[in-house]
Amino acid sequence: MSYLPSTDSVMASVVKTDVESGLCLALGRDRALSIGERELLLGGASGCLVHKEGISIMLHWLPVFDWYACLLSSFIRFCRRDEAATAHHQHLHETNFLTDAPARSRLVPLYDVLWVSSSGPELTVDYVAPIASGSSLRLESWTGRFEGESSSSPEAIASNLLSRAYGDAKPRKRALVLINPKSGPGGALAKWERDVRPLFSAARVDFEVVTLSRGGEAAELAENVDLLRYDTIVACSGDGTPHEIFNGLARRPDAARALAALAVSHIPCGSGNAMACNLYGSHQPALAALAIIKGVVTPLDLVSITQGDRRYVSFLSQALGIVAESDLATEHLRWMGSARFDVGVLARVFRRKCYPCDLAVKVECGDKDGVRTHYRRQTAINSASLGREREHEGEGLPPLRYGTVQDELPPGWELISHDKMGVFYCGNMAYMAPDVNFFPAALASDGCMDLVLINGDLWPVAALKTLMSVESGDFFDSPHVSYKKISAYRVIPRDQDDGYISIDGERAPFAPFQAEVHPGLGRVISKRGFFEASRPTNLDSVEA
C-alpha cells in the first residue's frame, strides 16, 4: 500500500462564517466547505449541513427544494431543546437517511483531520481516507483560497477547525519512537515507513526514531529518557517492547513520576499485538497511528510481579498452563504470526494436559454477577478523574501491600491445591490478540485484575468449544470458565521440573511468583479513554 496525496485547489468566497456554531464556505461555483461538530464537508455546494448540537446532517437538494432545506433547518432550530428530536436526528445521521452527498462532495469525520493550516488567503486541510479494504489509510489534502471580505480570517478558521478536530487530545505530540525490527514475523521498519511516518509527519508530530538492535535496549532507553522531552514513547513492535518500556520506567529512582509523566503507545508490528487491539481497536499500523495522533492520555493499572528476589511490572497478562505453553513453546513458529497460538492450543487440548499448582488469591468479585456489577459501576466513573484520584506519591514504585512471594502468606489468604489446572490466565487488558477478547470485563484502571481458570481434564471437544467461544463472545458465560476480579495472588507450580510461565508474553522462570495490582500507576495513549473491547454479556441482568 502506498500513499497517494490528492489536492483540490479551488477559489473560495465566504458565504457564512460562524466560528462558534459552524462554518460554510462557497468554493467557486460548485464547491463548499462546511464544518460541523463531528464532520467536515469538502466540496459540492449542492449540499448543505444542518447543525444541531453536534449533529451534522447533509441534505442533497435541487434548486426547487431550497425552501425545503430552509424549512427543515428552521424546524431543527425550533426543536433545539427537545431531547427526543436530538435522538431522532442522530438516528437519521447514523442511518444515512437524507444524507446523499453530491458526487463531488466528501464528508470527512473530524477524527480523520490531521492538520489545518493557513497561508495568506489559503486554507489547507490534511486528512486521511480509508482505502478500499478498510485496513489502512491514505493521505489526502484539500486547499481553498479565500476571496473577498470575511468576518473570520483563515487563521481563525484554521485554529477553530484544528481545535474541533483534536478535542481533548493534544495536537503535535512529542514522541520517542522505538522500532523493533525483529518483532513477530518482521517488517516493523517497513510498516513504520509506509503506514506510520507519513501520518505522523502530516499531523506535525515531533518524533525521534530509534531502531532497536538488541533485547533490553528499550528498557535502557526508558530508564534514562528525559521526561520533559516527550509526551509518549511509541513502540513499533509486538507486546514485548511495551513490557520493556514500562519496566525501564519502573527501574528509575523517580519511577512513580516517570510512569505518570510518559504515556506508552503501540504501533502493532508483532504476533499478538494485544496492546494496540485494546487501546485502538485495531491491529493495523495505520489505524493505530491515527488513534495515537488523536488519542488521549489514559491511566492504566500496572501489576507488580515478585519472583525470587526480583520485582518488576506487568501491563498485560500473566499465564501458566495451556495459554503460556501455547505461546512460549511456539516461538519457532513466529513466521505464522498469530496463528501459531492456535496451533499450540490444539496440540495441548487433545492431550488433556494439566498443570498442577497451589494458588492463593485476594478476591474482589468472586462470581460472574459480581463481576458484571463491578463493571457497570466502574464504567460510570470518568477515567480522567480516576487518574487524578490515584496519583501515586513518593519517588519509586509504590510499596507492596502484601509483601513478596518469599514472605509468609498474607492474613486471610488460603492456599488451595489445583491438581487439574489447565488454564491459569490473569489479565490486565481485555484483548490478548486480534479477535481474542479473553477478559471482556477488564477495565483500564479499576484496581483489579481479571482471573480465568479452566480445568485441564475437559474432553477435547468441550475444551475446544470453550476456547473457541472467546471469538464468538460467549466465553464469559461458559460453565467451564471461572471468572473473578482479584487484586493480588500467589501461584506455586508443582509436580513439574520445568515448564512455562508467561508475563506479558515473555518467558519467566518456572518458579513461584506473586502479583498485586497498583491502580492507575501507568499511562497509555488510548483512542477514547477506555479499552476498545466488547463488554461482558448479560449486563442488564444486574444492577449498577
Query: DSSP 3-state assignment of 157?
Result: helix
Residue 347, φ and ψ in degrees, nearest 5:
-60, -35
| Predicted local confidence at residue 17, as pLDDT | 40
Query: DSSP 3-state assignment of 473?
Result: coil
The number of CA neighbours under 13 Å toward the Cβ of 81 is 0
| 359 torsion bin: left (phi>0), alpha (psi -120 to 50), beta (else) | beta
Take residue 29 and report the three cell numbers written for it.
Answer: 461555483
| Predicted local confidence at residue 104, as pLDDT | 58
For CA atoms 312, 358, 317, 449, give the dihedral sign: negative
> What is the C-alpha to C-alpha distance for residues 426 and 443, in angstroms, rounded to an integer?
13
Take residue 187 and report the three cell numbers written for it.
Answer: 517488517
| Predicted local confidence at residue 154, as pLDDT | 85
| Predicted local confidence at residue 267, as pLDDT | 99
> What is the C-alpha to C-alpha distance for residues 364 and 165, in angstroms, rounded to an integer?
40
> What is the C-alpha to C-alpha distance for residues 367 and 479, in angstroms, rounded to an integer?
12
- Beta pairing, strands 39-42 & 106-109: antiparallel
> What is the C-alpha to C-alpha distance for residues 426 and 514, in angstroms, rounded to an integer?
12
Residue 176, φ and ψ in degrees, nearest 5:
-100, 115
How would DSSP label each residue in 337-380? TTHHHHHHHHHHHTTT----EEEEEEEEE-SHHHHHHHHHHHHT
The contacts of residue 472 (CB under 8 Å, 6+ apart) are none
> What is the C-alpha to C-alpha distance for residues 317 and 425, in angstroms, rounded to an integer?
7
The contacts of residue 449 (CB under 8 Å, 6+ apart) are 301, 303, 426, 427, 428, 485, 486, 487, 489, 515, 517
| Best CA proximity match to 427, nearest among 379, 481, 384, 468 | 481
Mean pLDDT in consecutive groups of 10 residues from the start of the chain, 544 residues: 36 40 44 67 46 32 34 39 36 31 68 94 91 88 75 84 95 99 91 98 99 98 98 98 99 97 98 94 98 98 98 98 89 74 83 94 96 94 52 79 96 93 98 94 98 95 92 94 98 93 96 98 98 90 74
Residue 477, φ and ψ in degrees, nearest 5:
-90, 0
The number of CA neighbours under 13 Å toward the Cβ of 126 is 17
Class of domain 301-397+407-543 (CATH, top level)? mainly beta
Residue recorded with cell 490478540 = 433
Sequence-ordered alpha helix ranges (H) in 205-338 = 217-224, 240-250, 255-261, 274-280, 285-294, 322-328
**Can you give the residue ranges of every domain in the chain?**
301-397+407-543
What is the pTM assigned to this prediction? 0.84
